[in-house]
Structure 1
Amino acid sequence: MKNEMLRIFDDNHQLIGQASRAEVHRLGYWHETFHCWFISHEAAKDYIYLQLRSLDKEDYPGLFDITAAGHLLVDETVEDGIREVEEELGVKVKREELISIGKIHYEAYKEEFIDKEIAHVFIYETPYKISDYQLQLEEVAGIVCVDFNHFYNFCFGKTNSFLAEGFICQGGVKSIFKDDITYNSLVPHELSFYQQVAERIKQYLNRR
């Protein structure tokens, strides 16, 4: 995985070439990623879904994150990022079902790890039930859904946590998850990143 080749960009987000994934994060090149947030509407409420990263992940193990996400390889288009959904969650999604909510640029730093992402962000109105997901356990250890309004209020500092419900897999055993999630339980993207995502999804829901 560290040898995967990615397109790299300068600080003006202009394409300058390509580099291995390991080099990208060591030297801090801007690179492209695919983010897909699952949402649903049930019983007059809107929901958003989070994945729990596997404890085997090198980066941010055991933390809750975007429903499905991944790096775009040098020979991939943005739409090719849909492979991440199918690989990680085990459900089929058609390209035309993805709804673009634009790009988000953000940076994260952790010891020797530099992450500068040009994220192509999509939402997907999922018809699937929690029990339908077949997780790629080396990548994903669980999936939960959250009342979107609670998530939105959390992102803008109105609450310190939100309730999540779903399932997790530990040691090959699947169990029900129902607990509050705080910022310390999330992958530490910049707060402004979560705010942009929440606001763009809210705008979409208001137009729907």
Structure 2
Amino acid sequence: MENEMITLCNEKREHIGVATRAEIHKKGYWHETFHCWFLSNNEGKVFLYLQIRSDQKKDYPNLLDITAAGHILADESIHDGIREVKEELGIDLAIDDVVSLGVFQDCITTNAIIDKEFGNVFLYARNHIDFSQFHLQQDEVSGIVKTPITDFEQLIAGHIEEILVEGFKINQHGKKSSISTMINKHSIVPHEQSYFENVLFAMKKHV
């Protein structure tokens, strides 16, 4: 995975070359990624779905993140990124099943990586999304939870400190169990505040 070849971008999103994923994160090059958020609207109550990153992940193990996301390889188009949904979640979607919310910059800097993304964000919205639909790639994703989008928005804005999430998690033996727990902002991958705000604003137009 660290040797995957990815297209480099400048700050204007112009493609300027190709490098490995490891080099991109080491040197902090801008690059294209694919993000797909799931929403369900059940009788007027809108739920946002989050993945639980596997404890085997090098970066941010066990934290909550975008429903499905990944890097766009150098030989792929943006729309090819829809494969991430099948790979991570086991749900086979076509690009026509999702709606583009736009492209949002998202930069995360830690001691280990400088991750500068042009996040191509898509929305999969349905009246009902059942947890039984998910068949997870367990070395990538260990569970799925949902929370009311209004609660998530309040958490991100700092108006409340905790929210309830409910869903399921798969243990190391492959057994699925239901979970219901309180989480805070530290439970979530630290995407830029502006990224969350822009994505949530764009989602509202489709709810």
The TM-score, its normalising length taken from structure 1, stands at: 0.95
- Post-superposition Cα deviations, 1:107-162, rounded to whole Å, max 9, x if no partner, equal 11111311000000000014530122100000000001111111122222221122
User: Aligned partners of 1:47, 1:189: CA distance in 2, in Å?
Assistant: 20
Q: Name stretches of at least 5 consecutive residues in structure 1 with no aligned partner.
A: none
Cα drift, residue 199 of structure 1: 1.2
Tell me, yes or no, if the aligned pair for 2:147 and 2:164 is still in contact at 8 Å. yes
Q: Does 1:149 align with 2:150?
A: yes
User: Aligned partners of 1:157, 1:204: CA distance in 2, in Å?
Assistant: 24
Name the structure 2 match of 1:188.
190
SS where residue 60 of structure 2 aligns? coil
Cα drift, residue 64 of structure 1: 0.2
Judge which range, 84-93 or 125-134, deviates more.
125-134
Structure 1 runs of 4+ aligned residues shifted over 3 Å read none
Judge which range, 125-134 or 24-33, deviates more.
125-134
User: Aligned partners of 2:159, 2:187: CA distance in 1, in Å?
Assistant: 17
Name the structure 1 match of 2:47.
47
1:151-190 matches, cutoff 5 A: 151-171=152-172, 172-190=174-192
User: Aligned partners of 1:162, 1:76: CA distance in 2, in Å?
Assistant: 37
User: Aligned partners of 1:106, 1:166: CA distance in 2, in Å?
Assistant: 27
When the two chains are superposed, the root-mean-square deviation of aligned CA atoms in Å is 1.1
Matched AA of 1:194: F
User: Aligned partners of 2:147, 2:136: CA distance in 1, in Å?
Assistant: 18
SS where residue 12 of structure 1 aligns? coil
SS where residue 194 of structure 1 aligns? helix
SS where residue 57 of structure 2 aligns? coil
Name the structure 2 match of 1:79.
79
Name the structure 2 match of 1:64.
64
Q: Does 1:99 align with 2:114?
A: no
Tell me, yes or no, if the aligned pair for 2:166 and 2:181 is still in contact at 8 Å. yes
Tell me, yes or no, if the aligned pair for 1:152 and 1:199 is still in contact at 8 Å. no
Tell me, yes or no, if the aligned pair for 1:34 and 1:70 is still in contact at 8 Å. yes
Cα drift, residue 200 of structure 1: 1.1
Q: Does 1:35 align with 2:58?
A: no
Tell me, yes or no, if the aligned pair for 1:37 and 1:124 is still in contact at 8 Å. yes
| Aligned length in residues | 205
